[in-house]
Structure 1
């Protein structure tokens, strides 16, 4: 497999406060990578930098061999990064169909394929996004990202706050995306499910990469030391 996303010694600030102190990670084409760490350790900040919603102070971010540090977020997205942000952030007044088609770009993922992955969205086709349940909104957020036909899907807390039955539907969809060969960078607190899907894991502690390796190597000792479980 070839490297699709590479982050090397990334440093970043919120104003005068430094948030990242040297994050390094890589996602190969077709690989699922788990980005792990306790709350406040820099996971979402790392994603914001990757998606060019924050400016890195130093270090390098490259996508498919192209350095993107100075690239605006909309251009980075067009390279093939699809983000499902924490908090879903659907277009509230638009219908399910409008949310999906507003983001559409040419490729294998279209409305019919998204509805096949999440049948509930087909049932809610003409319903406003702000009237959906939390789980349905999360499905919509994932579907909207897929409609951009990304090469890398970034999921930030995709199952947080959802009922167990809905969480299992989301995990089943992520497993299906993995089976299709889509590269995924995954942040989630459900450690058992994450490590059951990911092939590689990266652990952040206080804004730095402190461990990375095979997901199967994340044992109880590592979890107790860095993840608080």
Structure 2
């Protein structure tokens, strides 16, 4: 598998406030990376930097062998970077169908395939997105991101705050996406659910990569040190 994404000692700031102090990670085609750390340690900032919503101060950022540090966010998206943001941000006044069509780009992921992944959406195609349940809205946001036909899909807390049965549905979909060969970066707090699907993990602390390895190698000591409340 060829290298798809690489961050090498990336630093970034919000104005004069430095947020990333040296983030390094890499991901190959078809792999799943768990991006972990306590709240406020730089996970969402790292995602914003990858997606070119936040400028680099230093370090290297490459996607599919290309230096993308100088690209705008819409240019990075066209290269195949997709995002499922935290907070279930649907286009509330639009129907489920319109939400999916709004983001569509040519490729293997079309409406039929999204509906096959999330049958509930197929039952609600003409329903306004704002009237869906929280879990259905999250399915819609994932489906809308897939309609962009990304090479890399980033899921930021995709199951947070959802009922257990809905979480199970979304994790089943994530496993199906991995099986399809799509590269994923997943931000989530549940090691129990991350470990079976992630090929490796990166832990951030205070905007720095402090651990990289297999999820199964995360000992209780490491989880208490870097992930405990």
Deviation of the 1:222 alpha carbon: 1.0
Q: How does 1:1-229 map to 2 (within 5 A)?
A: 1-228=1-228
Structure 2: gaps of 5 or more residues: none
Q: Once the 2 structures are TM-superposed, how far is the Cα of residue 156 of structure 1 from its aligned partner?
A: 0.3
State the secondary structure of the residue aligned to 2:92. coil
SS in 2 for 1:144: helix
Query: How far did 1:220 drift?
Result: 1.2
Tell me how far 1:183 sits from its aligned partner: 0.4
**Given the two structures, how large is their TM-score scaled by the length of structure 1?**
0.98
Following the alignment from structure 1 to structure 2, what is the Cα–Cα distance between the partners of residues 131 and 27? Answer: 37
| 1:215 to partner: Cα distance | 1.9
Taking the aligned partners of 1:142 and 1:157, their CA distance within structure 2 comes to 12
The 3-state SS of whatever aligns with 1:62 is strand
TM normalised by structure 2 equals: 0.98
RMSD of aligned alpha carbons: 0.8
Displacement of 1:121 after TM fit? 0.4
The structural deviation recorded for 1:40 is 0.2
| Aligned-partner Cα distance in 1 for 2:190–2:136 | 19
- Note the C-alpha offset of 1:63: 0.3
Paired residue secondary structure (1:196):
coil
After superposition, give the CA deviation of every residue in 1:11-68 in whole Å (9 maximum; x if it has no partner).
0111111110000001100000000000000000000000011111111111001011
Distance 2:27 2:138 in 1: 23
> Secondary structure at 1:197's aligned position in 2?
coil
Q: For the Cα contact (< 8 Å) 1:201–1:214, is it kept in 2? A: yes
Give secondary structure in 1 for the equivalent of 2:18.
Answer: strand
Cα pair 1:199 1:216 within 8 Å, conserved: no
Q: How many residues align?
A: 229
Q: Greater CA deviation, 203-212 or 187-196?
A: 187-196
Q: SS where residue 49 of structure 1 aligns?
A: helix
